[in-house]
Amino acid sequence: MRTGHFKESYGELVALTDSSVTRAWVGLLVVALLLLPLVAGNYGLSLATAAMITVVGAVGLNLLTGMTGLISVGQSGFLAIGAYTNALLLADYKWPLLASLPASGIVAGVLSLLVGVPSLRLKGLYLAITTLAFAFIVNHVILYAEGLTHGPNGVFLPNASLLGIDVSRDRPLYFLVLAVTILVVLAVLNIKRTRIGRAFLAIRDHDIAARVMGVDLVRYKLLAFVISSFLVGIAGALLSLQIRFVNVDVFGLILSIEALAVIILGGLGSTAGAILGAVFLSMLPELIRIAFSTFGSTQSVTYTTYVYEIRGIAYGVVIVVFLRFKPDGLIGLWRDVRRYWTNWPLAY
Applying CB under 8 A, the residues found at the interface with another protein are: 71, 118, 121-122, 124-126, 128-130, 132-134, 136-137, 140, 143-144, 208, 212, 253-254, 257, 260-261, 264, 306, 308-310, 312-313, 315-320, 323-324, 327
CA distance 23 to 11: 17
Q: Tell me how far, at minimum, the Cβ of 321 lies from another protein, in Å.
A: 9
CB closer to another protein, 243 vs 253: 253
Helix 253-266 to helix 124-144 angle (10° resolution) is 140
Helix 42-61 to helix 20-39 angle (10° resolution) is 140
Q: How far is CA 230 from CA 20, 77, 107, 109, 266, in A?
A: 32, 12, 8, 4, 21
CA distance 55 to 209: 32
Q: Tell me how far, at minimum, the Cβ of 245 lies from another protein, in Å.
A: 23
Classify residue 315 by burial, with Cβ atoms within 10 Å: 0-12, 13-18, 19+: buried
CA distance 21 to 17: 10
What one-character DSSP code corresponds to residue 158?
P
CB closer to another protein, 140 vs 195: 140
Check if the beta carbon of residue 111 is closer than 8 Å to that of residue 78.
yes
Q: Tell me how far, at minimum, the Cβ of 122 lies from another protein, in Å.
A: 6
Q: Tell me how far, at minimum, the Cβ of 134 lies from another protein, in Å.
A: 8
Q: Tell me how far, at minimum, the Cβ of 117 lies from another protein, in Å.
A: 9
Beta strand 155-156 with 165-166: parallel, antiparallel or unpaired?
unpaired
Q: Tell me how far, at minimum, the Cβ of 281 lies from another protein, in Å.
A: 13
